[in-house]
């Protein structure tokens, strides 16, 4: 197989959970959005057996056959391991060959826009091209989910689906994905702090152990709400979707992932006549609040200027 000697570029969008957080891990569907802020990855073949990574977060360099762990680049390294181990021999990659991966982002990794999903999808895309592979969207999704599970042990994969597909996606963790239209108008606001998702999930799991029957019913309600929300979104019924977002926020509060700052932001947004619904976006206990519709009379600090975007993964 001919080895590619020129640079390869790919980009993937950041993502947001609109509705379905937590319940998606228990068999529910979720609504996830791709946004117009992207992460770009450029792969340049090297004539030395080195793996190099360059980004605003730092740099990495190691012999390609003596790679070491680095938490800063855990998703990129896991993506490289996944593809290189599987396809390098088949692709006829020379032992004296390496790669440089350069990463650029339109947004901070500290804000919950699915940076791990976007960089994983874009990295896998350039590596597959370099190694002579042409996975379809289902195959790429399974690669990305394998990388995600290798790095963090669990996760629904919803953000990966939106990063690949773009737009608004109704997602089930079985891998079933349905791209919906039309696209909603949203507002997004950062609360100023963020607790990592695995820690939030640990807290929820501990609470569920103490009240298992109550949490079982709670997840059932969340699943029913998410199912109706997917139907409303597919019909462009923003009034109903907004009501369901508000209802789901109440369920997230009962789940134990709300706090005073998030509540204050949510109720401020709901007070605007142009906002049809507002809730936490993501696992909760910090991070972002999302509104359906953009407020006119209410101004909150730390607004993140994003909109839903139809473009998913792009490979140049």
**Residue 2: pLDDT band with limits 50, 70, 90:** very low
Consecutive H or E run containing 314: strand 314-315
Write out pLDDT tens, residues 57-85. Answer: 999 999 999 999 999 999 999 999 999 99
User: Does the pLDDT at position 219 exceed 50?
Assistant: yes
Fold of 8-181: Ribosomal Protein S5; domain 2 (3.30.230)
Fold of 186-292: Alpha-Beta Plaits (3.30.70)
State how far the Cα of 209 lies from the Cα of 41, in Å rounded to an integer: 42
* Closest-CA residue to 261 (of 284, 233, 293): 284
Q: What is the percentage of the chain residues whose pLDDT exceeds 70?
A: 98
**Residue 112: pLDDT band with limits 50, 70, 90:** confident
**Strands, sheet with 288-292, edge to edge from the N-terminal-most edge strand:** 186-190, 288-292, 277-281
Instruction: Tell me the average pLDDT across 186-203.
Output: 93
User: Does the pLDDT at position 237 exceed 90?
Assistant: yes
* Closest-CA residue to 126 (of 35, 11, 36): 11
State how far the Cα of 254 lies from the Cα of 280, in Å rounded to an integer: 13
Instruction: Tell me the average pLDDT across 17-23.
Output: 97
Provide the pLDDT for residue 190.
95
Provide the pLDDT for residue 111.
82
Model-level pTM?
0.94
Provide the pLDDT for residue 1.
43
**Residue 134: pLDDT band with limits 50, 70, 90:** very high
Residues shown for the chain = 316
Write out pLDDT tens, residues 260-285. Answer: 999 999 999 999 999 999 999 999 99
Q: Where are the domains of the chain?
A: 8-181, 186-292
Biggest CA-to-CA distance, the chain: 63
User: Does the pLDDT at position 181 exceed 80?
Assistant: yes
Provide the pLDDT for residue 24.
97
């Amino acid at each position: 197989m001919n080895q590619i000697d020129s640079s390869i570029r790919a980009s993937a969008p950041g993502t947001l959970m609109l509705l379905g957080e937590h319940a998606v891990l228990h068999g529910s569907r979720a609504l996830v959005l791709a946004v117009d802020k992207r992460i770009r990855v450029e792969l340049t073949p090297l004539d030395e057996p080195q793996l190099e990574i360059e980004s605003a977060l730092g740099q990495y360099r190691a012999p390609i056959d003596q790679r070491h762990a680095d938490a800063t680049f855990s998703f990129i390294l896991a993506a490289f391991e996944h593809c290189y181990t599987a396809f390098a021999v088949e692709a006829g990659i020379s032992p004296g060959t390496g790669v440089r991966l350069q990463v650029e982002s339109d947004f901070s990794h500290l804000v919950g826009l699915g940076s791990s999903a976007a960089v994983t999808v874009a990295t896998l895309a350039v590596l597959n091209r370099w190694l002579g592979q042409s996975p379809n969207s289902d195959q790429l999704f399974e690669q990305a989910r394998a990388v995600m599970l290798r790095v963090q042990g669990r996760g629904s994969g919803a953000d990966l689906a939106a990063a690949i597909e773009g737009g608004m996606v109704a997602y089930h963790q079985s891998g079933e994905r349905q791209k919906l239209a039309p696209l909603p108008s949203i507002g997004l606001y950062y609360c100023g702090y963020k607790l990592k998702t695995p820690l939030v999930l640990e807290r929820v799991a501990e609470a569920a152990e103490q009240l298992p029957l109550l949490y079982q019913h709670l997840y059932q309600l969340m699943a029913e709400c998410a199912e109706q929300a997917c139907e409303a979104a597919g019909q462009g019924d923003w009034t109903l979707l907004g009501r369901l977002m508000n209802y789901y926020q109440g369920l997230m509060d009962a789940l134990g992932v709300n706090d005073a700052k998030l509540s204050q932001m949510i109720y401020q947004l709901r007070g605007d006549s142009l906002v049809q619904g507002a809730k936490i976006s993501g696992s909760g206990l910090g991070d972002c609040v999302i509104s359906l519709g953009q407020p006119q009379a209410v101004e909150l600090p730390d607004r993140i200027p994003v909109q839903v975007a139809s473009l998913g993964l792009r490979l140049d």
